[in-house]
Amino acid sequence: MEKNDIQNTVKEIIRISGVNPKKCIKCGKCSGTCPAYDEMEYHPHQFVSMVDMGDIEPLLESPSIFKCLSCMACVDRCPRGVEPAKLIEAIRSVKQRMQGSNHMKPDDIPALLDEELPQQAIVSALRKYMK
Amino acid sequence: MKVSYFPGCTLKTKAKQLDDYARSCAEVLGIKMEEIPNWQCCGGVFNTSSDEIATKLSAVRALSYAEKQGQPLISVCSACHNVLKQTNHAMQTDAVFASRVNHYITQPGQAAAQAYMGNTQVYHYLELLRDIIGFDRIRDAVKKPLTGKKIGAYYGCLMLRPSSTMKMDDAENPRIMEDFIRAIGAEPVIYAMRNECCGGYVTMEDPALSQKKSTAILRNAEANGADFLITACPLCKYNLDKNGNIPVVYFTELLARALGIVEA
């Protein structure tokens, strides 16, 4: 990405998430409580500090944006109200609004079905993984 | 009393019991649940990005319909409730979001009459039991108490968080489901992981992750002596059923048993 584009994308991420990364005191509680921690390359506290540093390209390319469960544990437990999950959601939204960036497509679904899988899982996954 | 009811996609398909028992129990307890005509799927998850509009319109339409009936809006599924409540909160607190939404849902020249501004009261069915009916009245209505059963309440994430919006209960030390368990004559089992995530929708692409999360929850509940768990979420039930030996049942089914509507 061009430097200008990076700066504008950081602004967009901050605007649509409503998150102010400067509020973070780097206590690590968000990552400590994250149920997807082990599966993530970048962890919630790193999302916050990397957005603050303008270092968003690795985040946009990382599978970590699809590992967040949106359980909001980090949002509720942050002592500073930083709300890391909203930042991760914004990065995922920005990524998937780019051409050809859908992480899951309706055609992928039939192979993932089993007898008991609730419709809720399918609609939720498509909302999270597709634009 | 009449309330507007948003069932949601899964309650019409894989989780029909959740829907049926919710309606029949409400009837016995003096509440008529009127299903919103032509409701549309809530989408299962609320996108927290404030410029995401179209995916929240189905929730707004349901909220707006309930307002026109002068009724509170009830849902049973944790995911539907989460989306409805978070959307309503955004309509109340984010004027730019509300304005953009109303541009979609109002006809030209009708904005004043048709706009929705977040005035509907949104209740989860458990809140209906606690706040409108009252657990005391439920205790009095119980015909077949579930005496001696040790039940673990599984909250998961969607009912409780984000707590500043959901406002159902203390998100770290909730009691609404335990109070429900007591009201139907059983004994609640408190265990640490009752409000941790089951793995949710990630089960679609990474079943190993939801397996790990669900297994930890089930072991923790079992170690604390739970005979079985109750949930309000079809996706939680799916993830837990797939990964453990403790039975997981919908809370409405237990209510129906306690009220004598169905045989155990």
Residue-wise pLDDT for B217-226, tens only, equals: 999 999 999 9
Asked, for residue B190, whether it belongs to a domain, the answer is yes
Tens-place pLDDT, residues B73-107? 999 999 999 999 999 999 999 999 999 999 999 99
Domain end residue (candidates: B67, B98, B124): B124
Map residue A118 onto helix, strand or coil.
coil
Structure tokens at A127: 């909302």
Mean pLDDT of B23-47: 97
Clarify whether residues B166 and B106 are in a common domain.
no
Instruction: Please tell me the predicted confidence (pLDDT) of residue B142.
Output: 98
The verdict on a CB contact (< 8 Å) between A127 and B55 is yes
Instruction: Please tell me the predicted confidence (pLDDT) of residue A16.
Output: 98
Residues from A contacting B (CB-CB < 8 Å) are 15-18, 35-36, 38-39, 66-67, 69-73, 75-76, 83, 85-86, 89-90, 93, 104, 112, 116-125, 127-129
Range of the domain at B249: 141-258
Instruction: Please tell me the predicted confidence (pLDDT) of residue B35.
Output: 98
Asked, for residue B129, whether it belongs to a domain, the answer is no
CATH number of the domain enclosing B155: 3.40.50.11810
ipTM higher than the 0.90 cut:
yes
Domain end residue (candidates: B124, B154, B181): B124
Asked, for residue B136, whether it belongs to a domain, the answer is no
Of A75, A93, A127, the CB nearest to B45: A127
In 3D space, the residue among A67, A97, A65, A88 whose CA is nearest the CA of residue B203 turns out to be A67
Mean pLDDT of B97-124: 95
Using H for helix, E for strand and C for coil, what is the string for B43-77? Answer: CCCCCCCCCCCHHHHHHHHHHHHHHHHCCCEEECC
B111 has pLDDT over 90: no
B213 has pLDDT over 90: yes
Clarify whether residues B112 and B150 are in a common domain.
no
Clarify whether residues B155 and B200 are in a common domain.
yes
Instruction: Please tell me the predicted confidence (pLDDT) of residue A15.
Output: 98
Structure tokens at A13: 């991420």
Clarify whether residues B112 and B192 are in a common domain.
no
B263 has pLDDT over 90: no
**0.90 exceeded by the pTM?**
yes
Above pLDDT 90, what percent of chain B?
95
Contacts of B246 (CB under 8 A, 6+ apart): B152, B218, B221, B222, B226, B227, B228, B229, B240
Mean pLDDT of B11-35: 96
Clarify whether residues B38 and B107 are in a common domain.
yes
The verdict on a CB contact (< 8 Å) between A16 and B50 is yes
Beta bridge mates, B189: B152
- In a mutational test of the A interface, the residue from B46, B167, B201 whose CB has the highest number of chain A CBs within 10 Å is B201
Asked, for residue B131, whether it belongs to a domain, the answer is no
Map residue B4 onto helix, strand or coil.
strand
Clarify whether residues B60 and B168 are in a common domain.
no
Distances (CA, A) of B161 to A85, B133, B145, B197: 12, 24, 31, 11
Can you tell me the distance from the alpha carbon of B251 to that of B74, in angstroms, rounded to the nearest whole number? 16
Instruction: Please tell me the predicted confidence (pLDDT) of residue B218.
Output: 98
Clarify whether residues B145 and B118 are in a common domain.
no
> How many residues can be counted in chain B?
264
B112 has pLDDT over 90: no
Clarify whether residues B98 and B172 are in a common domain.
no
Clarify whether residues B119 and B160 are in a common domain.
no
Q: At what angle do helices A3-17 and A44-52 cross, to 10 degrees?
A: 130
CATH number of the domain enclosing B89: 1.20.1050.140
Of B13, B50, B52, the CB nearest to A18: B50
Count of CB contacts below 8 A, A vs B?
Answer: 130
B12 has pLDDT over 80: yes
A41 has pLDDT over 90: yes
The verdict on a CB contact (< 8 Å) between B9 and A120 is yes
8 A C-beta contact, residue B96 and residue B46: no
Query: Residue A53: what residue type?
Result: M
Say which DSSP state B36 is in.
P
Asked, for residue B130, whether it belongs to a domain, the answer is no
Place of tokens 């059963």: B149
* Class of residue A26 by CB neighbours under 10 A (exposed 0-12, middle 13-18, buried 19+): exposed
Domains of chain A, each with CATH number or no CATH: 3-98 (1.10.1060.10), 103-131 (no CATH)
Asked, for residue B41, whether it belongs to a domain, the answer is yes
Clarify whether residues B211 and B115 are in a common domain.
no
Q: How close is the nearest chain A Cα to the Cα of B144, in Å? A: 30
Structure tokens at A16: 């649509």
Clarify whether residues B116 and B149 are in a common domain.
no
Above pLDDT 70, what percent of chain B?
100
B264 has pLDDT over 80: no
Mean pLDDT of A110-128: 96
Asked, for residue B264, whether it belongs to a domain, the answer is no
Asked, for residue B37, whether it belongs to a domain, the answer is yes
Q: How close is the nearest chain B Cα to the Cα of A3, in Å? A: 24
Mean pLDDT of A77-106: 97
Clarify whether residues B110 and B149 are in a common domain.
no
Number of folded domains in chain B?
A: 2
Domain end residue (candidates: B89, B124, B159): B124
